[in-house]
Amino acid sequence: MIQYVTNWNEPGTDAANRYLNLTRKLYGYMTPFVSKNPRQAFFNYRDIDLGINHNGKASFEEATAYGIKYFLGNFNRLVKIKTKVDPGNFFRNEQSIPVLPH
């Protein structure tokens, strides 16, 4: 497992963007050396660059971007379970399992 961490002590948006872009460049550079189709991730280390869910009408489509990378073939099964257990989507975060659209 590879975890990308970036820290900096410079204030301001320009510095933040510069260091985040360097991290994204490293992430891209590592692409040939990591899992593919899909590129996988470990859910306990959330990577919002994989996508986020705004919990709106496009919730399922947005979640598919990161859900398949975290949960592989289990994503659709987890969505069905979440829809039954939490149909109002009370338990959610920016990368939570979505509910199916009504």
Residue 53: predicted pLDDT? 87
Local confidence band at 13 (pLDDT 50, 70, 90 cut-offs)? very high
Which of 4, 45, 66, 70 is labelled catalytic? 45
> pLDDT (tens digit, 9 = 90+) per residue, 32-65?
887 776 667 766 777 778 888 888 777 899 999 8
Residue 16: predicted pLDDT? 95
pTM (two decimals): 0.64
Alpha-helix runs per DSSP H in 32-89: 59-71, 75-85
Residue 9: predicted pLDDT? 95
d(CA 46, CA 83): 22
Examine the residue annotation and report whether 45 is marked as an active-site residue of this protein.
yes
For residues 14 and 101, the model is more confident at 14
